[in-house]
Amino acid sequence: MNLVDGTANLFQTALGFWARGPLVYMLHSGEQVTMTGYLRGVRSDDLFAAAMQQDQAAEINAAAFATAFAPRTTPQRLDRIKVGTRTFTVEEWRGAPNDATPTFFKLLLRGGSQ
C-alpha cells in the first residue's frame, strides 16, 4: 500500500470539513444526488487547459460518486452541479490521483445560471 491509498479515507473525511454546503450532482440523464464537495475559482496554475471564462472548479469524493451513481464510476461532460441557486455544467474532469482508483474527482465547471 502506498501513501495515497493509505491516507485516502482520511482525506475524503477531511473533504467534509472543507465543504461549505450541499452540492447536487445531476447526471445528464436526470438522476441526481446530494453530495459533499466545494467550489472555488479557477487559478492560472490549474491543470485544465480551458480558457478562463469565469469558470469554477469543484472537488468531490470519488468513492461517494461511484456509490451514488453505480454502475457509472466517473463524471461525464455535460453533467450538472447545483450549489444553492447556481447551476454549472461539467466541462472537464480528472481523477486525483489520476489513475484507476482516484480519491477525488476535480471538475472544471462552466456557467452559474443555466
Query: Of 55, 61, 21, which Cα lies nearest the Cα of 41?
Result: 55
HSE-up (13 A, CA, CB side) for residue 53: 11
pLDDT at res. 90: 95
**Is the CB of residue 25 less than 8 Å from the CB of residue 35?**
yes
Per-residue pLDDT of 40-99, as tens digits, reads 776 655 555 555 567 888 999 999 999 999 999 999 999 999 988 899 999 999 998 888
Q: Report the pLDDT value the prediction gives residue 114, as an integer from 0 to 100.
A: 52
Our count of domains for the chain comes to: 1
What pLDDT is stored for residue 68 in this prediction? 95
Distance of CA 59 to the CA centre of its chain: 4
Specify the CATH number for the domain of residue 35: 2.40.10
Structural domain including 23 reads 3-111
| pTM of full prediction above 0.85 | no
Q: Who has greater pLDDT, 86 or 3? A: 86
